[in-house]
Structure 1
Amino acid sequence: MKVHTIPVTPFMQNCRVIVCNETNKAALVDPGGDPEKIAAFVDSLDVEVEKILLTHGHLDHVGASVVLKNKYNVEIVGPHKDEQFWFDALPMQCQMFGFPIMEPFLPDTWLEEGDKVAVGKIDLSVFLCPGHTPGHVVFYNKPSSSVFVGDVLFQGSIGRTDFPKGDGPTLLNSIREKLFTLPDETVVLTGHGNETTIGIEKRTNPFVSGRFG
């Protein structure tokens, strides 16, 4: 598995491109904006995009999804159905953050805890990790020891919980009960900023330890 990162929008959100080495099939994870930039990079890879994966419904993670869905004629998969209110509120999100207004849309497929998603011959396990948003999911690939966490966990920090339906204790429980049960060497591919590892965050993250927050 290869993973490419494309920072998009003024929020510098990490859109990820997952590529299966065996089949050359690819998936876009959280294409949050700048669809022309994402498409130009993806097309330079000469891969076959087969789906778009979303961790949650915030604008900066979904903003380019419909344009890219139509360009590559693929389905949008995820997050969990509890995110629907964020998709319904996309015009409000655009207005709030000064982005061009986009119409609401819904994924083609909602995901549940324990689901599996395939990208070529790559299997991704789905964990429901609410707290930042109520229907946030993450995607874990055991063979490569990597997890795509959206805005649940960051290097030295955690996701915000001051948006509607965010909840701090729920987020911390998701991190401790789901992410921190993964092997320490697991690479954490975050929605913003630098990647980290589960082991580093278990040892040093002040928000999870209780030193902050």
Structure 2
Amino acid sequence: MSLQFEIVPVTPFQQNCSIVWCDETKQAALIDPGGDIHLLKEKAAELGVTITKLILTHGHLDHVGGTEPLAKELGVPVVGPHKEDAFWLQGLPRQSEMFGFPMTDAFDPDQWLDDGDTVEIGNQVLNVYHTPGHTPGHVVLFNEMAKVAFVGDVLFKGGIGRTDFPRGDYQTLISSIKNKLWPLGNETTFVPGHGPMSTFGNERASNPFVADEMPLY
């Protein structure tokens, strides 16, 4: 019994949507279904899994653009992010205009997430960590058994999330990474919102923004 996942890059921003499933029950969640929903449905069918919920790490358009139509079509709930990102979700029509995306209506999830919450996918559990900085309501999802974290735009291989958006904050982001992510273990693999996977240990050793010799502020 274990958690499995497959990454499907979507939208012109090549955002990593993760199809995450319990190999025992074949129940699945989509983390950050940003768009190209036909690709996501095709891949889920190919994997033989049933999507039971959509999970959002934060409210930026490239991560959430396909959420509402997909939730309606599949009749599944939307979970996350933290309620501090409500203003991003309410601002989706403006984000669509700004980035030249198809018009995306504002929405609220069925459930906001808080630090310490858990999300179940079949018999698997994702632990929720509130990790503000890139956006104020960003969350990270961690599966203890598989030692894998889905970190959205908090951390990248060799980089960190932007903090120049409304209510972004550089010091808060660095603190989220060092105080929330590093304790999950150097061996933990993470799936970022864009680009290749890495491990927390690799980033602690070599990431120019958050390597261990860097100060916290």
For normalisation by structure 2, the TM-score amounts to 0.95
SS at match of 2:190: strand
**Superposed counterparts of 1:1-213, under 5 Å:** 1-209=3-211, 210=214
| Stretch of structure 1 that moved more, 72-81 or 33-42 | 33-42
Letter in 2 for 1:86: W
SS at match of 1:206: coil
Q: Give the superposition deviation at 1:118.
A: 0.3
CA distance in 2, matches of 1:36, 1:94: 19
User: What is the CA RMSD across the aligned residues, in angstroms?
Assistant: 1.2
Q: Give the superposition deviation at 1:46.
A: 2.0
CA distance in 1, matches of 2:36, 2:106: 18
CA distance in 1, matches of 2:150, 2:33: 13
- Structure 1 stretches of 4+ with a deviation exceeding 4 A read none
CA contact (8 A) 1:129 1:137 kept: yes
CA distance in 2, matches of 1:131, 1:22: 36
Letter in 2 for 1:132: H
Deviations 1:98-147 (A, max 9, x none): 01111101100000000011000001100000000000000000100000
Q: Percent identity?
A: 50
CA distance in 2, matches of 1:123, 1:184: 20
Deviations 1:36-69 (A, max 9, x none): 1111111222211110000000000000001111
Letter in 1 for 2:206: T
Deviations 1:60-85 (A, max 9, x none): 00000011111211000000000000
Q: Give the superposition deviation at 1:2.
A: 1.1
Unaligned segments of structure 1, at least 5 residues: none
Q: Give the superposition deviation at 1:187.
A: 0.3
For normalisation by structure 1, the TM-score amounts to 0.97
CA distance in 2, matches of 1:132, 1:114: 19
Unaligned segments of structure 2, at least 5 residues: none
SS at match of 2:204: helix
SS at match of 1:49: strand
| Stretch of structure 1 that moved more, 200-209 or 189-198 | 200-209
